Amino acid sequence: MSHPVTQDSSRKLSLTGRSADLFCRVIDNFGDIGVCWRLARCLARDHGWHVRLWVDALDALARIKPQGAAEPGVEVRQWNDDTPLCLPASCVIEAFACDLPPAFVTAMAAQHPPPDWINLEYLSAEAWVEGCHGLPSLDAASGLTKRFFFPGFTARTGGLLRERDLSAQRDAWLADAAARKFDLARLGMAVDAGALQLSLFGYESPSIATLLEALAAHTQPVQLWVPESRSLTVAAEALCRPLRAGDVVRRGALSLHVLAFMDQDDYDRLLWQCDLNIVRGEDSFLRAQWAAQPMLWHIYPQDGGAHLTKLDAFLDRHAEGLPAEVATRLRALHHGWNSANAVPVQDWQTLLGDLPHLASHARQRALALASQDDLATQLVMFNQPPI
């Protein structure tokens, strides 16, 4: 069934800045909606755009914005086969090849000139991305041309999603002891002075059990913060007890704290607080890099091991500048974490010893990446109307 397009001019985005319809289909977990929500907010806050964010699963958005998704300049709407759609905005963004409603494409083709049609792709550090960024593709059914927009880590890609003031926010929060204490207490976090701080937000992995074993045997007290996620099931099995938000489990030097699933902005603060962040997917993976702290990536698994090629491409860039032996160990640990076999306890202990090298490197990497234009800024420049 096609999506009808209404002619309700009172609902059409029009205004001094540009406008966008951003379509998001939630495939699995929260990465798709996480990226799309952040992009919509960046376009509105940093560039004065007016964005309609079309989401097929509003419950997923509610999980990452539990206090509500109200944001000036962003209008959230649900779309499915029965949802009436408005006249298209001046820019239409199809996130991650989600396939626009046919009636909406028809309405785009009826406009003169038609909207800019952007296919926002997934983030990758692979070299081929540079050659594909910005390429046009003809949609045979409508006669319209869409252009591919590839986020990436180099100047020849679309950049990385980042709010204009993110680094300043992070640094100000870390420097404000009272703000940190208030926010962490609000999240149910009582941080022990002198304890190593780790976060874990990932998929299922047998290496979680050996991680817990290594942390329990560490020479320094460790607090491991685990927001509700698929990792929690494996942790519960390793500890031989059920786990739910608010629980604290102590084993040797380790205190494991289970946190409720939290707002995206609060998750940023958790990442800023920790000395090592284990993250997953795309959204939390990128936010961990902006946290300027050491990280370990649990990449989303793909058929045929395609994700491992993507992982290696990232590690090639991410490890630049590290001492060779540290880079080798970091690569091996990433592959172990993303395999079906558990990382040995000794390898986790070695990682903890490498944290000073990795912390300095993470800060340098975050500074270098922040020197490039961010994704929203590049998308705005990509869609400048002709003079």
Q: What are phi and psi of 122, to 5 degrees?
A: -75, 155
Which residue out of 94, 116, 213, 282 is catalytically annotated? Answer: 282
The rounded distance, in Å, linking the Cα atoms of 278 and 204 is 12
Helices (H), the chain: 31-47, 58-64, 102-110, 128-132, 166-175, 177-186, 207-216, 231-239, 264-273, 283-290, 306-318, 324-337, 345-370, 375-382
- Backbone torsion region of residue 96, taken as left when φ is above 0, otherwise alpha when ψ lies between -120 and 50, otherwise beta: left
The rounded distance, in Å, linking the Cα atoms of 24 and 137 is 20
For residue 158, CA distances in Å to 128, 130, 177, 352, 379 come to 13, 9, 36, 34, 7
Positions of E strands within 66-195: 74-78, 91-95, 116-120, 136-138, 145-149
The rounded distance, in Å, linking the Cα atoms of 89 and 343 is 49
Q: At what angle do helices 283-290 and 264-273 cross, to 10 degrees?
A: 50
Is 282 tagged catalytic? yes
Show the tokens assigned to 247. Answer: 């629980």
Is 320 tagged catalytic? no
Which residue out of 21, 32, 94, 283 is catalytically annotated? Answer: 32
In contact, 150 and 157? CB cutoff 8 Å: yes
| Catalytically active residues, by annotation | 32, 282
